Amino acid sequence: MRADHAEQAEVEEAIARILQAERDAREAVGRCEAQAAARVAAAREQAAAIDARADRRIAALRARIDAAVDRRVAELDASDPKAGPATGHDPAADELFSRAAAAALRELTGAGQ
């Protein structure tokens, strides 16, 4: 009879160890999930910051390009007074140029990847 009690106690101890190991494993998985979620959130924030910085750089570069084009047009207008001032920009051409410049900048900065 004593052997049965000892065997039963051993079985109960083994089951308790298994249950504890399962609880420990669940807690470890929970910690890993929380760490992974935090890393994903941090990566998303970093990506958003990179995107915003690229947008600011593109806007600044576009402004500089526009100013340079305007200066050059003014120089050309001033160099031939008989021709008169330029009649203005073609909005469709401006849009096409803007899209091309933005695409080139995305490629150069790696923002499109």
Task: Encode 2-64 in three state secondary structure.
Answer: HHHHHHHHHHHHHHHHHHHHHHHHHHHHHHHHHHHHHHHHHHHHHHHHHHHHHHHHHHHHHHH
The predicted model scores a pTM of 0.52
pLDDT tens digits, 45-84: 999 999 999 999 989 988 998 899 888 888 887 887 666 5
pLDDT tens digits, 15-37: 999 999 999 999 999 999 999 99
| Domains in the chain: boundaries | 2-109
